[in-house]
Amino acid sequence: MATFSLFGCNPHPSKEVRKARISDRYIVKAKTMTTSSPPSFPADLPGPAAVDLTGEKVHWDLKDSMSYGDYLHLPELLACQQPLSGQHDETLFIVIHQASELWIKLCLHEIAGAIRQIRADELGPAFKMMSRVARVQVNLIQSWEILSTMTPFDYSSFRSALGKSSGFQSFQYRMLEFRLGNKNRQMAQVYESRNDIASAVQAALTAPSIYDEALALLARRGLPVPSEKLERDFAEPYTADPQVMEAWRQVYRDAEKHWDLYELAEKLVDLEYRFQLWRYTHMKTVERIIGSKPGTGGTSGVNYLKKALDLRFYPELWDVRTEI
């Protein structure tokens, strides 16, 4: 009796049948070609069963040399995923948080570099670093797609294992917000019991943000930035200023004259725009997974996350658009 698969053909054809099918496909492909060049080998044909290493000078013996795993500290890195609940989905939860923290680490590194370059009036390298951060942000936003494969039931199976731990306590995330310009002293309180972390967070809070550095640059270029903005307490939230608005207005009105400042403004908007997209997709993913339950960090959960959607890092750069 003939056997039929879901796809209408035998899933285990004989060698002869397989050969015939392959050559049929090859002929169809060759017939549809319009040039007289020989047909290329179809990409879906089975290749060799194993990669041919003949002639490759692979370093097989790494007893006395540094290997890939040594350089990247892979044994240590891969020992950091330690689920507490024994539930299948906790591994995804841990990996996505740890991967996000690694990318945030890179963002902090790049933003610190960009700030130094802006301070030194070297905008070319600063732009390169800011563009890299924007790409990392795309990646972080995309990662919600993976997390959204986790259902409310999956999450509730290990939620109690998290205790009071929450992304709210991510010190790298707070430092990134501070360096980008979203200052909030209160947020630093949560690290008070951890000296090493608290001092790094305080340093990010009290230092000028990338926007403060951009305004200092505008002032060096003779644009009307008031001294209160240049000498402000950098740990305080930045508030919009009509003179700063005028400075950016001049940049946007004569972009050719102020091309690099114009580009800087657009790169800043890029960063803030993507930061908000991350917040929004986090909020929607959280809503999808926990509904309106409170968060493990003690906030109201989704309602708390919605409040941050109204924050603006670079208010004048958004307002100036209304006038263009």
What's the CA gap between 124 and 263, in Å, rounded?
A: 10
By CB under 6 A, residue 172 contacts ligand HEM: no
Exposure class string for 29-50: b at 16+ Cβ within 10 A, else e:
eeeeeeeeeeeeeeeeeeeeee
Residue 109 near residue 247, CB atoms below 8 Å: no
Complex with ligand HEM: residue 143 or 250, whichever CB lies closer? 143
What's the CA gap between 167 and 295, in Å, rounded?
A: 10
Residue 103 φ/ψ, nearest 5 degrees: -65, -35
Read off the tokens for 116: 């130094």
- The correct pick among 170, 202, 206, 276 for binding ligand HEM (CB under 6 A) is 170
Complex with ligand HEM: residue 104 or 215, whichever CB lies closer? 104
What's the CA gap between 169 and 187, in Å, rounded?
A: 9
Please list every residue from 77 through 116 that binds ligand HEM, using CB under 6 A: 93, 96-97, 100
What's the CA gap between 11 and 105, in Å, rounded?
A: 48
By CB under 6 A, residue 305 contacts ligand HEM: yes
- Residue labelled with tokens 């990409």: 43
What's the CA gap between 205 and 185, in Å, rounded?
A: 7
Exposure class string for 81-106: b at 16+ Cβ within 10 A, else e:
eeeeeebebbebbbebbeebeebbee
- The correct pick among 158, 274, 301, 320 for binding ligand HEM (CB under 6 A) is 301
The binding track of 42-71 with respect to ligand HEM, each residue x by CB under 6 A or -, is ------------------------------
- Residue labelled with tokens 């990646």: 139
**Cβ of residue 104: shortest distance to ligand HEM, in angstroms?**
7
By CB under 6 A, residue 173 contacts ligand HEM: yes
- The correct pick among 90, 107, 108, 155 for binding ligand HEM (CB under 6 A) is 155
Closest CA to 268 of 72, 173, 153, 126: 126
- The correct pick among 113, 125, 167, 226 for binding ligand HEM (CB under 6 A) is 167
DSSP string, 179-216: HHT---GGGGGGGTT-HHHHHHHHHHHHS--HHHHHHH
By CB under 6 A, residue 308 contacts ligand HEM: yes
**Cβ of residue 290: shortest distance to ligand HEM, in angstroms?**
5
By CB under 6 A, residue 280 contacts ligand HEM: no
Read off the tokens for 194: 């951890």
Complex with ligand HEM: residue 168 or 262, whichever CB lies closer? 168
Complex with ligand HEM: residue 141 or 308, whichever CB lies closer? 308
Complex with ligand HEM: residue 96 or 269, whichever CB lies closer? 96
Complex with ligand HEM: residue 213 or 295, whichever CB lies closer? 295
- The correct pick among 295, 313, 316, 320 for binding ligand HEM (CB under 6 A) is 295
By CB under 6 A, residue 252 contacts ligand HEM: no
* Half-sphere exposure at residue 99, Cβ-oriented, CA atoms within 13 angstroms: 16
Complex with ligand HEM: residue 117 or 281, whichever CB lies closer? 281
Complex with ligand HEM: residue 100 or 137, whichever CB lies closer? 100
Q: Footprint of ligand HEM on this chain (CB under 6 A)?
A: 93, 96-97, 100, 147, 155, 166-168, 170, 173, 282, 286, 289-290, 295-299, 301, 304-305, 308
